[in-house]
Structure 1
Amino acid sequence: MVRFDKKATRLYVLDTNVLIHDPTALYHFDEHDVVIPMTVLEELDKHKNGIREIARTARQIIRALSDLTNQVDFQEIQQGILIPKLSGETGRLRFLCYQDLKPLDNMEDSPDNRILAETCRLREERPDASVVLVTKDINLRVKAAALKVPVEDYLNDRVFSDSDTMIEGAKVYVPVGLDAKGLWGSLNVEVKVERLENHTFYQLSGIMPHDWHVGMLVSDGENGAEFEAIVRELGPSSARLELLTNYRHHTGVWGVHAHDSRQNFTFNLLMDPEIDLVTIAGNAGTGKTFMTLAAAFQQTLDFKQFERIVFTRVPVPMGEDIGFLPGTEEEKMSPWMGAFHDNMDNLLRNDDGESSWDNDATRSLIGSRVQIRSPGFMRGRTLNDTFLIIDEAQNFTPKQLKSLVTRAGRNTKIVCLGNVGQIDTPYLTANTCGMAAVVERFRDWPHAGHITLTSVERSRLALAAEELL
């Protein structure tokens, strides 16, 4: 990359391959303006047809641009469309359309050369700004440098974390330093405690924190918390909190115990009959599937609250597809259910480390209450008395997840598990996946709860991989 001086005002001209590489690239240039040449729009139009990944990505980009242009008039498009962001300064989206564009001397007419010509024309029109071409094409970067056009590689693509796109579902007041106030020191409220039918409630009166919402965890520590509660009711000047059950030591769920506040809150959401929809996010190895299966088996086999457990996930490969699979629906889904079998093997281990999951009698008993289903065959069904587990929910579109959640009938609990950092569906992003949509839409519904787990339980190698890769 050629070094050059940048002015305060910058215009970043994006090549087609940048948008194909990262469909959210528009939002990664801070307060600077993003420019899309007409040549790029024409190339996207050529790529949009088909079922390959590049076609799906092109259609996603076109839809995103359409959403931005649908909200403004022609004058605003000419002046630049404000790029929406959650926080910080925002730039504008501009389109380059030259009807009298002259090709560069001694260069053939090609998309790359037209983008170079459009960038050079824009530099002449905007001497007050740094006009920078951004492309993943190495040869185009070399040609731009030869023509003394400022050029950069696109290096802003990064792995999204769950907290980038979704609420965490928890507010942990950890005292740090000598002047730290902690939970009760941070709240300017009056507290009234009442006990009803083995449940303890805290009625708060005063100014409520703006980042609280119904169904969230409020705790005074991550590991050794003395106060852990769920927000049951919330208003501008009042809130009603219910103390959580402690699943850390003697009281476990199917032999599984919580290690910190977030895991304890997860078990409370999973075991609470008042919560119909639970969404659990977190990096790989945080125990999402393990804890959910433990709660499902305790409520189905021990407490008889549900008649069956249905486990489903979208059959999307991480790499190349292995082709069609023979057998019944469950046999076809078996390769995608490695996480289910691994967790069952761990859940059924005794004190000597031996697992009974390979025992035919055990498999027959549990198999009679567990159904492994493909989401493609769930439409039209009504699931009564069912504990439905939707694994890898980040790979579903919002419409697909809606079709699954609306299967819920009488006495049915639905649990969505996912991590937006592991999206394998080509045309979905962390902001557009079904998991993020469900968390946002059900945020204030009193019968839904969400939590983002942070402690990796798998191994120190898994923890290091999440942090370093």
Structure 2
Amino acid sequence: MEKIYVLDTNVLLQEPRALFQFEENEVVIPAVVLEEIDAKKRYMDELGRNAREVSRILDGLRNKGMLHEGIPLENGGKIRVELNHRSFHFLRETFAEMTNDNRILAVAMNLQAEQEKNETHRNVVIVSKDALVRVKADALDIKAEDFLNDRVTELDQIYKGKFYSKVAKDTLNQFYQTQNLPVSEIGVEQLYPHQFVILKDALGSSASAVAKADEHGRWLRPFFHESEQIWGIHPRNVEQKMAMELLLRDDIPLVTLTGKAGTGKTLISLAAGLFQTEDIGMYNKLLVARPVVPMGKDIGFLPGEKEEKLRPWMQPVFDNLEYLFNTKKPGEIDQILAGMGSIQVEALTYIRGRSIPEQFIIIDEAQNLTKHEVKTILTRVGERSKIIFMGDPGQIDHPYLDELNNGLSYVVEKFKDQAVGGHVKLEKGERSGLAQLAADIL
């Protein structure tokens, strides 16, 4: 049965082309949504960009007819800007205050009352990223849904870059002897490129092996490191060894690392970057960047030059560099970095328009990036550069992102079947026992 979908502002600000993703149904945009989008279009960030994109899309549709009367879409649906259903008659007894959210609810409620009088009754559904709007809609007996089309996968299907497989003892012996094993021997037809497999004896003995699929995902091979210790960092668990393998491979220009706080993502990435930049000269520069997204209330404008303004945001990176360089005195790391000149730490605010060749690029806290932002960053990568995206999708500070629609998860899923990319999820914390316990139970 055809439905009427009433869109909340946050849906369009998250995905401007959501207008075209409701198949053969009618999409209604309340007038208050246009007001909220208009208020955001001057922002010089992702919200402003999306607001302007929505404006352009609606302006293009306007050429096909009157938006308040409804315009047919190519997918068989219809889009309409709703101007008349602003009455609070049905809503006043429950939610008396005329907020923008309540005005959107009023549109849906009035449309629903109108549909109940029609012979061809259509269900009215509010689509909102705001959980409280959906809760209010339920209280008013209006169907409400989250917008899920922007999610790159389901929560239980997020690619981890590794899996466990139980095999016969003879298969393990064959792998050790030949250093090669077709993936058909572990019961699968094909793996993703560079996917890791932890092989264990099916009979329960302690025999095991760690293998990595080739770039075609058809053969398993062991992996080794020329040095067990890089810049004083020794991998403490098998997942960190997997991450180090990806970070040190020059034929894998894109690496994604996910994991809870304290799993060592930033530290081992910096160590691998310093080794390949300073020790063996594979790259000309080590570039470390992270998005400027505050946790909690923003502290406002900061005094000083650009470097001084960015220092609080970049401090986690400097903390890891101080550990790697074993500095003891205040300001010593700044003197070291100034003398080296090949390490650059900055915010992602300044990356648009750049071309970054022959550099080892680390993007920290990438879970706070949108799909558009990670696309912008990846298209900056030049020849002979390597880029690492890392973060914890479970700790997101961006108001419009969640574990499944953020830029980091998007890159992980879209590149999992590409030979240029490699991914691993780190699950064991190594920062401290307290940090691991907090990550697990809080």
When the two structures are superposed, what TM-score results if normalisation uses the length of structure 1?
0.65
- Report what 1:386 is aligned to: 359
- 1:218 pairs with one of 190, 197, 200: 197
- Report what 1:273 is aligned to: 250
Between the aligned partners of 2:231 and 2:312, the Cα distance in structure 1 is: 26
Gaps of 5+ in 2: 62-71, 93-97, 201-205
Gaps of 5+ in 1: 1-8, 27-32, 79-94, 174-181, 349-354
Offset at residue 467 of structure 1 (A):
4.5
Offset at residue 128 of structure 1 (A):
9.9
The verdict on how the C-alpha distance between 1:333 and 1:118 changes in structure 2, with shifts beyond 3 A counting, is same
- Report what 1:454 is aligned to: 427
- Report what 1:377 is aligned to: 350
Between the aligned partners of 1:452 and 1:120, the Cα distance in structure 2 is: 49
- Report what 1:77 is aligned to: 77
- Report what 1:41 is aligned to: 30
- 1:309 pairs with one of 272, 286, 298: 286
- Report what 1:81 is aligned to: none
**Paired positions, count:** 401
SS at match of 1:244: coil
- Report what 2:316 is aligned to: 339
- 1:234 pairs with one of 213, 216, 232: 216
Offset at residue 217 of structure 1 (A):
1.0
- The residue correspondences of 1:59-458 to structure 2 (distance < 5 A) are 59=51, 76-77=76-77, 112-123=105-116, 150=141, 164=155, 166-173=158-165, 182-183=166-167, 200-203=179-182, 209=188, 212-220=191-199, 226-234=208-216, 239-245=218-224, 251-348=228-325, 355-358=326-329, 363-367=334-338, 368=340, 369-458=342-431
Offset at residue 399 of structure 1 (A):
4.2
Offset at residue 339 of structure 1 (A):
1.3
1:18/1:134 contact within 8 Å kept: no
Between the aligned partners of 2:290 and 2:83, the Cα distance in structure 1 is: 50
Q: Let me know the Cα RMSD of the aligned residues.
A: 5.2
Between the aligned partners of 1:403 and 1:138, the Cα distance in structure 2 is: 32
1:20/1:57 contact within 8 Å kept: no
Between the aligned partners of 1:143 and 1:386, the Cα distance in structure 2 is: 51
2:288/2:346 contact within 8 Å kept: yes
Offset at residue 263 of structure 1 (A):
1.6
SS at match of 2:422: strand
What letter is aligned with 1:77? Answer: G
What letter is aligned with 2:249? Answer: D
What letter is aligned with 2:277? Answer: T
After superposition, the C-alpha distances for 1:334-363 in whole angstroms (9 at most, x for unaligned) are 111121122234435xxxxxx525366665
Offset at residue 296 of structure 1 (A):
1.9
Between the aligned partners of 2:377 and 2:169, the Cα distance in structure 1 is: 43
After superposition, the C-alpha distances for 1:303-330 in whole angstroms (9 at most, x for unaligned) are 3433432111222223444344444443
After superposition, the C-alpha distances for 1:129-178 in whole angstroms (9 at most, x for unaligned) are 99888997999989996xxx536898999xx99983842211222xxxxx
After superposition, the C-alpha distances for 1:391-436 in whole angstroms (9 at most, x for unaligned) are 1223334444344334444543221112333333445555554323
After superposition, the C-alpha distances for 1:277-320 in whole angstroms (9 at most, x for unaligned) are 21111222221101111222233334343343211122222344
What letter is aligned with 2:192? Answer: H
SS at match of 1:450: strand
- Report what 1:351 is aligned to: none
SS at match of 2:77: helix
SS at match of 2:428: coil
SS at match of 1:227: strand
1:278/1:448 contact within 8 Å kept: yes
SS at match of 1:420: coil
Offset at residue 233 of structure 1 (A):
3.6
When the two structures are superposed, what TM-score results if normalisation uses the length of structure 2?
0.68
Between the aligned partners of 2:327 and 2:134, the Cα distance in structure 1 is: 60
SS at match of 1:48: helix
The verdict on how the C-alpha distance between 1:150 and 1:444 changes in structure 2, with shifts beyond 3 A counting, is closer
What letter is aligned with 1:228? Answer: V
The verdict on how the C-alpha distance between 1:324 and 1:208 changes in structure 2, with shifts beyond 3 A counting, is same
Provide the identity percentage: 25
